[in-house]
A and B are shown apart, each in its own frame.
Chain A
């Protein structure tokens, strides 16, 4: 229960921090362009943003060009002859194999490189699905209010009251054949209520805002009120949250794979799965766990930094 209150508080804080994101009564005639241009001006000078952006760019580039970068097939047991588990012996780093082989004699470096794809896939798709689901529910609740709002928010609160990883594990466990798809679904469903609650709070604030009142006074119909006047003004904290959710999804997905609820494919490497396999031999070969864990942490950090810098840039308190 404490967890729920904290989660709600955090979401509401986020909401409050940008509820009035663009209203600055003291502003006379500023020279800047749109709100985005304004945010960009502040992002440009933020080291946090640049660190995050560089990490993410490198990671995305690696994922895209993984085939070219990876020197070997990640599934082939190329170094099996040098691998003697019984004698605690793994293939050491050598020309063409910068990180050596894993417990089965596959090229560790190639596995990491190709594994980035799965991680990117999970991060992006889980966030997209969570975002879309939250967008629909949050818009419904915020636009209609009343009974629709009550019903949607009850559902959201129930989902939020379950610790997110536990919920993701339960959902993932429902699938007979665990796969990357089941991981994505489990991880994204957990994020839907977070997005929904955040957006709903923003929409409710917008509903009472002056410019929506002014639009209503001009007879603007309901659909454009919601989609042109309320929704676009509600999105900035949700977009910030989406960036953070990429990081959360990557970690959650890794956790599911680690627990054996992810892809069972021997051919397609995945960082969480690699970590899970390394765990059995962690005393003897800590580096097998170190590399995938390090990658997960760095990438998650990249998205977190980006998200935090975006929030700073969009925060009304930081406007001049």
Chain B
């Protein structure tokens, strides 16, 4: 049985005087115990909102969350908020993008780590202190005794993120959500942090939702990958399938935009052209259509559903005209053979 089942999750922002905006729209996915699931997509596609909705961390006003988020059989969205608070940090925890602003600047690192231990594990101050020391040690912070007494601005970026990871894993949560945990860090440090996360997750058997716009991170860490576009999942596959046979034009574009060391010098990268601002609503079209090289007539008149992909097992796709391997090697702009998608259940 999956540890986390997200079913038809929707988040709609409502601001007075503005059209309601669906940031997340019918997102469903499962996370098995110990599994690492990727949530990939470019800026603004709804990755953070999805994770905040799962954690119930969205501000109470100005939005509406629908669907089910079942964690170990309990629907988190319908849990009394007190119970949810008891679970956060204990059963499921989160790591954020910007390590400096995610730490409280006026209290010491030690106090911030012991706060979690005292909250969820009922530890006394002295025991919590010792445990905090061990935790910092575990996440690879040198000289933990000294660092415990220091303030966030005295630590380097990488160390801050390590400290935040220490807080997140302090109570051995069964699910960890990492929202672009390396985006704000140097490249060399990024690799170290990812390695640390990988190790912790493996050793503790923690399930991980890895949010990123970097397919390199996905390749190194994730078992399953969900590609998000405009608040909907457009492609889902296990890592090998996704990299071997990406079929959604958007995924295809993302993969083509990764610089390759073995590419001939001077070859241009193929970033996905356009930007999120070009999106059209999903209601009666494919939101990606304005940027898609594979667009067919139906793309503007009907909304594609997430269905089994033409190739692969358990590979799912939301597209009328997928990119197939005979057209491989070209980016989203390349003209792959139009495929009649009649085979797809609509």
Stretch from A166-174, A178-186, A215-223, A243-251 contacting the other chain: A215-223
Q: A166 to B86: give the CA distance in the assembly, Å.
A: 51
**B95-122 at interface with A (beta carbon < 8 Å):** 96, 98, 100-107, 115-116, 119-120
Residues in A neighbouring B94, C-beta threshold 8 A: 214, 217
Residues in A neighbouring B104, C-beta threshold 8 A: 211, 215, 228-229, 233
Cβ of B184 < 8 Å from any Cβ of A?
Answer: yes
How many whole Å from A58's CB to the nearest CB in chain B? 32
Interface size class of B (residues with CB under 8 A): 35 or more
How many whole Å from B65's CB to the nearest CB in chain A? 16
Cβ of B59 < 8 Å from any Cβ of A?
Answer: yes
Residues in B neighbouring A208, C-beta threshold 8 A: 59
**B152-210 at interface with A (beta carbon < 8 Å):** 153-157, 159, 164, 167-168, 184
Contact of A214 among B86, B153, B159, B164 (CB under 8 A): B164
Q: Quick check: B57 and A216 within 8 Å, CB to CB?
A: yes
Kindly name the residue among A31, A213, A221, A233 whose own CB sees the greatest number of chain B CB atoms within 10 A: A213
Cβ of A22 < 8 Å from any Cβ of B?
Answer: yes
Q: A32 to B151: give the CA distance in the assembly, Å.
A: 10
Q: Quick check: A22 and B107 within 8 Å, CB to CB?
A: no
Which residue of A is nearest B113, CB measured?
Answer: A218
Number of A positions contacting B (CB below 8 A): 32
Cβ of B332 < 8 Å from any Cβ of A?
Answer: no
Contact of B107 among A30, A213, A217, A228 (CB under 8 A): A228
Cβ of B85 < 8 Å from any Cβ of A?
Answer: yes
B20-59 CB mask vs A (1 if < 8 Å, else 0) is 0000000000000000000000000000000000010101
Q: Quick check: B88 and A216 within 8 Å, CB to CB?
A: yes
Contact of A28 among B103, B115, B156, B164 (CB under 8 A): B156
Cβ-Cβ contact count across A and B, 8 Å cutoff: 97
Q: Quick check: B105 and A210 within 8 Å, CB to CB?
A: no
Cβ of B90 < 8 Å from any Cβ of A?
Answer: yes
A233 and B164 contact, Cβ closer than 8 Å, known pairs A27-B153, A30-B154, A219-B86 = no
Cβ of B136 < 8 Å from any Cβ of A?
Answer: no
How many whole Å from B74's CB to the nearest CB in chain A? 15
Q: Quick check: B120 and A27 within 8 Å, CB to CB?
A: no
Which residue of B is nearest A230, CB measured?
Answer: B104
Q: Quick check: B87 and A210 within 8 Å, CB to CB?
A: no
Residues in A neighbouring B230, C-beta threshold 8 A: none
Q: Quick check: B119 and A219 within 8 Å, CB to CB?
A: yes
How many whole Å from B213's CB to the nearest CB in chain A? 19
Residues in A neighbouring B116, C-beta threshold 8 A: 218-220
A219 and B87 contact, Cβ closer than 8 Å, known pairs A30-B154, A35-B106, A208-B59 = yes
A218 and B105 contact, Cβ closer than 8 Å, known pairs A28-B157, A30-B153 = no
Contact of B100 among A25, A216, A217 (CB under 8 A): A25
Cβ of B231 < 8 Å from any Cβ of A?
Answer: no
Q: Quick check: A22 and B55 within 8 Å, CB to CB?
A: no
Q: Quick check: A32 and B168 within 8 Å, CB to CB?
A: no
How many whole Å from B61's CB to the nearest CB in chain A? 8
Residues in B neighbouring A146, C-beta threshold 8 A: 61
Q: A224 to B151: give the CA distance in the assembly, Å.
A: 18
Contact of A22 among B57, B59, B93, B106 (CB under 8 A): B106
Residues in A neighbouring B293, C-beta threshold 8 A: none
**A138-169 at interface with B (beta carbon < 8 Å):** 146
Cβ of B89 < 8 Å from any Cβ of A?
Answer: yes
Residues in A neighbouring B57, C-beta threshold 8 A: 213, 216-217
Q: A32 to B105: give the CA distance in the assembly, Å.
A: 13
Q: Quick check: A233 and B156 within 8 Å, CB to CB?
A: no
Cβ of A29 < 8 Å from any Cβ of B?
Answer: yes
A25 and B87 contact, Cβ closer than 8 Å, known pairs A35-B151, A214-B164 = no
How many whole Å from A62's CB to the nearest CB in chain B? 35
Residues in A neighbouring B103, C-beta threshold 8 A: 211, 214
Cβ of A34 < 8 Å from any Cβ of B?
Answer: yes
Which residue of A is nearest B91, CB measured?
Answer: A219
Q: A28 to B115: give the CA distance in the assembly, Å.
A: 25
7 other contacts beyond A35-B106, A219-B88, with CB at 8 A cut-off?
A: A22-B153, A25-B184, A146-B61, A214-B102, A218-B89, A219-B120, A232-B106
Q: Ordered nearest first, which 7 A-B pairs have the shortest CB separation?
A: A219-B89, A218-B89, A219-B88, A22-B105, A210-B101, A214-B102, A217-B94
Q: Enumerate chain B interface residues (CB-CB to A < 8 A).
A: 55, 57, 59, 61, 85-90, 93-94, 96, 98, 100-107, 115-116, 119-120, 151, 153-157, 159, 164, 167-168, 184
11 A–B contacts from the bound complex (CB under 8 Å): A25-B184, A29-B154, A31-B154, A33-B151, A208-B59, A211-B103, A213-B96, A213-B102, A214-B103, A215-B104, A218-B167
